[in-house]
């Protein structure tokens, strides 16, 4: 009976709960990240696509993040709302949040798909796709087919945290993993055997996303703890508003990342054209392709980091709702330590083995300029990885505690004020290298602010524990 009511979240050992919820969430996010990463690996190793295809993948990537931003706002908001509701013993509001979230993600997915199809050329140009004619052609082809899968992608990504909140992190992991495996199997077939190029990479991705969405639909009809009824799918303004408020940090962290990527892509295009090497037509796409590859590695690391933190959302939400701040404090400590360890391990990899990393993305088919710039990009762009990991954990944990304002402000400072600001400012003084410096500078300055919020959070939790004692 304890498992059926989720009360075990308030009594089970914290370390055991972290493993139970975080590991499936990490695997789910890694599987989701693999869609774009696997596409880029196979594209890079296809001699008829190479760095042009890589650059096109980099152009389209932020546009999929916009879809993800909307999806996680709905899904993470619902996850937090459901966990808080169950902790407060309000199952009716939990059911209504799930029903309303399903409708919101379906409608938003269809609307975004339509917008992308109508304004595709303008959107591709906005994200740096006009670096040269060949890159634009590949970008347009890839974007068209990826857009057709947007509703399925958003549905699967939004339902993933909702399924975790229902006490089934393993199913959430399996559904995402199934789609990623389909993509991995079909990518080489479509790209190398059928020679479908960018269309083949996109088509494999979309088929995988459809599989994940279908499994999510099945789960909605078989939920364990929160069983929405027909009436729960009728839109309720109050429930929608509360759900979206709790998820707004997830949205802003993703959408602000899009703004930063747009600034970076355009600065790469602008200052790459002024570079004596990359200003040449045959090499113009290399900086954009390389920055995209570095971002993909960073995405793998961040998937682990966010997975660890997001996986703890149901645990944090339940214990906050139940007034067990001592358990929240213990979880916060363990999470910060774990995130710092992940960041340190990733930092060692990028600083020691940049050449090996870039070889995975088809460096053998490219010029020496490609390899040299790639090694420099890995070592500079990701040198503050430890701080970046701790910052992400802080954003998400504050959100799970219901501190949406603090979490949102910190996230916006990192991605908009620092991320966009330094991406635009530093190239003025350092040229193309300034784009690479923008990320470590942003992460270091954000960490200074995050450290203050972390200390304040500990003080608040300590006061609550003393008050309850």
State pLDDT tens for residues 145-186. Answer: 999 999 999 999 999 989 988 888 889 889 988 999 999 999
**pLDDT given for residue 6 in this prediction:** 62
- 217 falls in which pLDDT band (50, 70, 90)? very high
Asked whether the predicted pLDDT for residue 465 surpasses 70, the reply is no
- Is the pLDDT reported for residue 2 higher than 50? no
The pTM assigned to this predicted structure is: 0.79
Q: What mean pLDDT, rounded, does the chain reach? A: 89
CA end-to-end span of the chain? 28
Q: Whose CA is closest to 378, among 441, 292, 446, 443?
A: 292
- CA atoms of 46 and 43, how far apart (whole Å): 5
Q: Where are the domains of the chain?
A: 21-468
CA distance 225 to 94: 10
The C-alpha atoms of residue 205 and residue 37 are separated, in whole angstroms, by 11
Gap between the Cα atoms of 91 and 99, Å rounded:
13
> Looking at residue 166, what DSSP letter applies?
T
Cβ atoms of 100 and 243 closer than 8 Å: yes
Hey, which of 78-87, 97-106, 122-131, 390-399 has the most confident mean pLDDT? Answer: 97-106
Signed CA dihedral, 223, 248, 346, 332: sign only: negative
Rounded CA-CA distance 432/423 in Å is 10
pLDDT tens digits, one per residue of 439-456: 999 999 999 999 999 999
Measured distance CA(298)–CA(134) in Å, rounded: 26
Contact 289, 428 (CB under 8 A): no
């Amino acid at each position: 009976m304890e498992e059926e009511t989720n009360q075990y979240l308030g009594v089970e050992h914290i370390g055991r709960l972290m493993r139970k919820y975080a590991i499936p969430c990490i695997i789910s996010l890694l599987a989701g990240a693999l869609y774009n990463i696997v596409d880029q690996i196979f594209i890079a190793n296809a001699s008829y696509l190479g760095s042009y295809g890589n650059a096109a993948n980099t152009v389209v990537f932020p546009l999929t993040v916009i879809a993800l931003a909307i999806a996680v706002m709905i899904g993470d908001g619902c996850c937090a709302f459901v966990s808080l509701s169950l902790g407060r013993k309000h199952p009716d509001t939990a059911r209504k949040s799930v029903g309303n979230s399903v409708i919101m993600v379906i409608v938003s997915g269809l609307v975004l798909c339509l917008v992308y199809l109508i304004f595709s050329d303008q959107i591709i140009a906005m994200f740096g796709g006009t670096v040269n004619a060949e890159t634009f052609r590949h970008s347009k082809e890839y974007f068209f087919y990826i857009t057709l899968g947007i509703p399925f992608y958003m549905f699967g990504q939004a339902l993933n945290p909702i399924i975790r909140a229902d006490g089934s992190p393993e199913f959430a992991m399996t559904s995402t993993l199934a789609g990623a495996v389909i993509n991995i199997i079909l990518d080489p077939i479509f790209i190398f055997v059928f020679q479908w190029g960018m269309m083949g990479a996109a088509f494999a991705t979309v088929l995988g996303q459809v599989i994940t969405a279908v499994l999510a639909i099945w789960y909605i009809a078989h939920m364990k703890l929160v069983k929405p009824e027909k009436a729960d799918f009728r839109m309720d303004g109050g429930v929608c508003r509360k759900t979206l408020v709790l998820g707004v940090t997830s949205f802003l962290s993703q959408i602000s990342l899009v703004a930063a990527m747009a600034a970076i892509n355009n600065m790469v295009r602008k200052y790459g054209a002024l570079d004596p090497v990359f200003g040449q037509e045959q090499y113009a796409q290399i900086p954009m392709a390389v920055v995209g590859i570095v971002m993909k590695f960073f995405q793998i690391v961040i998937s682990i980091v966010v997975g660890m933190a997001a996986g703890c959302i149901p645990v944090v939400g339940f214990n906050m709702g139940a007034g067990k701040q001592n358990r929240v404090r213990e979880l916060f400590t363990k999470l910060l330590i774990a995130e710092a360890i992940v960041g340190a391990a990733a930092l060692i990899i990028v600083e020691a083995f940049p050449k090996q990393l870039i070889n995975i993305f088809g460096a053998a088919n490219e010029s020496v300029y490609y390899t040299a710039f790639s090694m420099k990009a890995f070592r500079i762009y990701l040198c503050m990885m430890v701080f970046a990991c701790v910052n992400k954990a802080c954003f998400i944990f504050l959100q799970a505690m219901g501190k949406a304002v603090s979490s949102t402000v910190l996230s916006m400072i990192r991605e908009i004020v620092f991320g966009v600001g330094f991406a635009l400012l530093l190239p003025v003084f350092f040229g193309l290298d300034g784009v690479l410096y923008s990320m470590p500078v942003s992460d270091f300055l954000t960490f200074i602010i995050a450290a203050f919020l972390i200390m304040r959070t500990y003080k608040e939790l300590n006061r609550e524990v003393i008050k309850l004692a």
